[in-house]
Structure 1
Amino acid sequence: MEKLTNLGIYEELFKAEKMPTKCLLCKTGELDELGHIIPKFVMRWLKRASKLNSFYFNNDREKMVADTPAFKMMCKTCEDKFSTFEKYFTDEIFKKYYRGKTPSPIDDEVYNFAISIAWRLIASTERLKDTQPKENTFEAIYSLSESMMRDYLNNETEKCHHSVYALPIDKLTKNISKNLIDDNALKYTIRQGLKAHLIADERRGIALSFIHLPIIHFKIGCYYFFILQDNYFAGADFEISSTKASKSKELYVLDYTPDLLGFMEWLMDGHFFEVNTKDIPLKSYTHRDAPTLWNLVFGSNKAQSDPV
């Protein structure tokens, strides 16, 4: 039987009957080689920068992995398109950071790069065994986002109605006491996750939305990315500060605020182990109905314990 993924540890995650037979992006191309959900360059460079050969799957010391998950998901033409999206971020931002140089500014190419990963996260999560018992819920929440992103990536529309918020880790190191940060966890981990929630007015006890709002987030070493529906933060009762980084795309660079840390802590279900938030006043997000559908962390051996 042909393997579904690049590593044996990932084989049990995916449901064979749900794996694609044609390119998931263009819908017509023949499947090519294994394609990474999180681009391959990320772990390769984090290994080099951290001087470690293996990372741990889902922060489990017994599950050492040498690569992030990959499966046949696209044709060669679409894979090549995504490689083009990755080039600017890889060469001008990611590599420069880990070489000790000043990264280039975030620009439109980073928006395309982030949307391409967000789309891959949705498309891959749909095929997980853990998703199958709640398949209808997943489809109801994420099918529209997947479709809009796919149309955008296929150049069938100019906008995909999702905003990309980027957070360089330097924004955290410059504003948070060093003793509250796990430096290795901050620099040398990979995260990916999907979450969805309703919005409620806790004071008046009424629902403000009747469908779940999807959130896609990932961390690739020195950058966090949050992909949200346009205007997600409008009217929020917590302080989120950002700077628009593009004239034509909904691309923003986040600034540090304690409320942003609270949002991240909530988003990661209390597993935001890069920063010890216990001594930082945070907003509460417990009033949000927010099932986490998929959450993975890849960390180095040096980044397994909570900061002290």
Structure 2
Amino acid sequence: MKGICALYEEETDLVESHIYPKFVIKHSKETGSRFLRNFETPNKRDQDGPKPYLLGLKAEQKFSKSEKWFAENIFKPYLNEKYTLEYDENLYYFAISFLWRVIQLELRTSRTDFTKKWYYDKMMEAEKEWREFLKKNTIPKNHHNVNMLLTSRLLNNNSGIKGVDFYFTRALDATIVSNETKTSLLIYGKFNRFIFWSTILSEPYTDELYEVEINPNGGIIEVPQQVEFYPFNSFVSNRLRGVEKMPKAGEAQQEKIEKEILKNIDEFWKSDLGESLDNDMRFDT
């Protein structure tokens, strides 16, 4: 369909653009269910995640290069238990391209009028800076902070919250994070065991982000990481509680899920999804 490419801002033939990279969707289906389910719409089965008509082919191909780099140098090695990961400028580019698409998704699918949000102007400042970076590789001056936290299978859970392992190792999630006092604004997105966020606005905290902040010029990731950043930690804690309260799939959908599992039940419980659910059930008892 014809439209304006969100990246290059020119009229062209738009393609369905994955918010979550194709390799992420492929991995999620190969290591669990063939269908993805959104937290907010558990009765809707989705094979590919959100795919708005967002980009032209030129932009889509540009993003595909950084996605390929991330898949080969970070995603697959980490999932294959490599815990010291060297990276170059491609990681920074990939992270911003993902978080920039989170903004685009929110602008297009939010049930509320974003222009009336207190943080709209600040968020659009970041969107503009990131868009210029994605086109010209000019490092953002104001909104340059980008972080990545790598998660792993849950070893213990004293929170009393259900489904924590699933959220940290399997869930796809993307949102804008703000607070009532209008002092904090984060752009947040995660898939599988990879959490990304950018601090757009924050009170001055003494907490350090050096173990999770991505250097635009490259660096080394050492896992496990630690992050003691209150706005992020508070959001994740609240998100887990919110996810637990979200509506579950209806009886009809639960029956479909059971039939899918029963097709090869032994194989299912050996899958990454099966191991995650089994781990969560162990903590729930």
Same fold (TM over 0.5): yes
- Could you tell me which of 44, 53, 73 is aligned with 1:72? 53
SS at match of 1:215: strand
Show the counterpart of 1:168.
Answer: 150
Instruction: For 2:68 and 2:40, locate their aligned partners in 1 and report how far apart those are by CA, in whole Å.
Output: 28
Aligned residue in 2 for 1:94: 75
Deviation, 1:25, is 0.6
After TM superposition, give the deviation of residue 110 of structure 1 in Å: 1.1
Partner of 1:188: 170
* Distance in 2 separating the partners of 1:27 and 1:131: 24
Q: Distance in 1 between matches of 2:134 and 2:220?
A: 16
- Residue in 1 aligned with 2:121? 140
CA distance in 1, matches of 2:173, 2:156: 22
Q: What's 2:235 paired with?
A: 267
2:34 maps to which of 50, 53, 62? 53
Give how far 1:124 is off: 2.1
Question: 1:70 Cα shift?
Answer: 0.5
- What is the TM-score with the length of structure 2 in the denominator? 0.71
**Is structure 2 residue 13 aligned with structure 1 residue 43?**
no
| 1:220 corresponding residue in structure 2 | 191
| RMSD of Structure 2 on Structure 1 (CA) | 3.7
Gapped regions of structure 2 (runs ≥ 5): 245-272
Identical aligned pairs, as a percentage?
20
Aligned residues: 245
Aligned partner letter, 2:48: D
2:255 counterpart residue number: none
Q: Alpha carbons of 1:271 and 1:147: their partners in 2 closer, same or farther (altered >3 Å)?
A: same
Could you say if the C-alpha distance between residues 165 and 250 of structure 1 is closer, same or farther in structure 2, counting changes exceeding 3 Å? Answer: farther
CA displacement, residues 35-86 of structure 1 (integer Å, 9 cap, x when unaligned)? 011212212112212x321222116542332221001111111111111111
SS at match of 1:224: strand
**1:121 is aligned to 2:108:** no
How far 1:158 moved relative to its partner? 3.4
Partners of 2:219 and 2:84 in 1: CA distance? 21
**Where do 5+ consecutive residues of structure 1 fail to align?**
3-19, 200-210, 277-299
The separation in 2 between residues aligned to 1:66 and 1:103, in whole angstroms, is 32
1:246 Cα deviation (Å)? 3.0
> Which residue of structure 1 aligns with residue 226 of structure 2?
256
Q: 1:163 to 1:37 in 2, by over 3 A?
A: same
What is the distance in 2 between the residues matched to 1:70 and 1:63?
A: 15
Q: 1:17-36: CA deviations, max 9, x gaps? A: xxx82101111141332001
CA distance in 2, matches of 1:126, 1:145: 13
Amino acid at match of 1:122: I
1:107–1:245 Cα contact (<8 Å) kept: no
Larger helix fraction of residues: 2
